[in-house]
A and B are shown apart, each in its own frame.
Chain A
C-alpha cells in the first residue's frame, strides 16, 4: 500500500520536526531563564558594590581601593569587586551614567511649551503688537552694549524663526 506508507513516512518526519522544535524551544527557554536569573543577580551585586564605592571616590579616587571599600560596605568580601572586569573604568562609567540619568530627569522637569500651529505667525503677530502698542525704547548710548549682549541678540534672531516666544520666558 504505497499511499499509506508515504503517509506514515511523512507523519514521522512531521513528528520529528515538531519534537526537535519543541526540544529547542524548551531548552532555549530554560537556558534563557537561567542566564537571565544569573545575570540579574550578578548585575544587582555589581550595582550594589558600585553604589557603595561612589562614596569613597572623593577620598580614594577612582581606584580599586574605592571598589574594595564599596564591596565591604555592600556586605560582601572586599575581593568581590574582582567581578568588575574593567575595575575603576566601571566605576567612572557608573557615575557618568548616574549623572546622565540625573540630567535626563532635570531636563524632563522643564515642561516643553507646546508649539502653536504656525509659530512664524505668532512671532510676527507679537512683533507687530509690540511695535504698535509700546512706545519706542530709548536708544542705548553708543558703545554701551557688551559683546555678550550682542551675541545674545544674534541667537534670538536665529531661533525665533522656528521656536515660539513662550519658551524664551521660561
Chain B
C-alpha cells in the first residue's frame, strides 16, 4: 500500500471509531475548538493537541523500517495527515450516509491530492489548496451544524473575511488550514509500527 492509501485507510478507521458518537460530532467539535479562556494567549484549544496526536498516528502508520526520514519530511507527512483528517472531520459533520460513506469517498479524494507529500512542499501546498477548495465548496454549511454557543457569529464573520480575502472563501480556508498546521505541537520521528512483543510465558517451576 502507498502512503496515501495508508492515510485513507487509517482516516477511515479513525472515523469508524467515532461512529457511536456521530450524532453529537458537531457538539464535540464545538467544545474542542472553543478556547478554554478568552484571555489566554496563545489560546488554549483542546482540538490542536488532539489533532496532533491523530496526525502522529496516521503518519506513523506510513513509516517503513529502513525508510530514510528526516525532520522536514516527517513534518510534511504529519501536516498532510493532519490536513486531510481535519477536512474529513469537517465533511463528516454533515454526512448522513450509512457508515460515513460520503466522508470516506471525500477524504480519499483529498488524500489523493495530497499525494504522498514526500519530496517537495509543492505537493503539500497542492494538497492544502485542494482541501481548502473542497472545504470551501461545503460553504458555511458545516459551520451551521456547530452549536451557536461554540461558533457564535463565526459563519457571518467568515463570509465577511472571505469577501475581503484575495482568494475568496477558498483562499481564506487555505490560509486558516496553513495556520492550524503551524500550531501542531512538535513531535519526534517515531519508530515504524511493529507488533507488540508477546507477553512472557510464566516462568516454569524449578525442577526439584
Contact = CB atoms under 8 A, between A and B. Distances in A.
Interface residues of A, number: 42
B27 to A, nearest CB: 5
Query: DSSP class of A's interface residues: helix, strand, loop or mixed?
Result: helix
Interface string B45-58: 01000100110011
A72 B20 CA distance: 22
B118 A61 contact: no
Contact of B53 (A97, A113, A116): A97
Sorting the interface of chain B by its residue count into under 10, 10 to 19, 20 to 34 or 35 or more gives 35 or more
Contacts of B193: 107-108, 110-112
A104 B59 CA distance: 11
B78 interface: no
Given A99-B14, A99-B18, A162-B67, A108 B196 contact: yes
B27 A62 contact: yes
Nearest to B119: A158
Contacts of B1: 167-168, 170
Interface string B180-203: 000000000000111110000000
Contacts of A156: 2
A19 interface: no
Interface in B84-102: none
B12 to A, nearest CB: 11
A110 B61 contact: yes
Contacts of B27: 61-62
A88 to B, nearest CB: 6
A151 B110 CA distance: 12
A37 B55 CA distance: 33
Given A57-B24, A99-B17, A162 B194 contact: no
A164 B163 CA distance: 48
A122 to B, nearest CB: 11
Contacts of B108: 148
Given A57-B24, A112-B65, A89 B36 contact: yes
Nearest to B66: A115
Interface in A88-130: 88-89, 92-93, 95-97, 99-100, 102-104, 106-116, 119
A119 B115 contact: no
Contacts of A92: 28, 31-32, 46
Contacts of B67: 115, 162-163
B3 interface: yes
Contacts of B4: 155, 158
A138 interface: no
B63 interface: yes
Given A112-B193, A155-B116, A158-B118, A103 B57 contact: yes
Nearest to A100: B53
Interface of B: 1-5, 10, 13-14, 17-18, 20-21, 23-24, 27-28, 31-32, 34, 36, 46, 50, 53-54, 57-58, 60-61, 63-68, 108, 112, 115-116, 118, 192-196
5 contacts: A58-B21, A108-B193, A111-B195, A112-B64, A155-B115
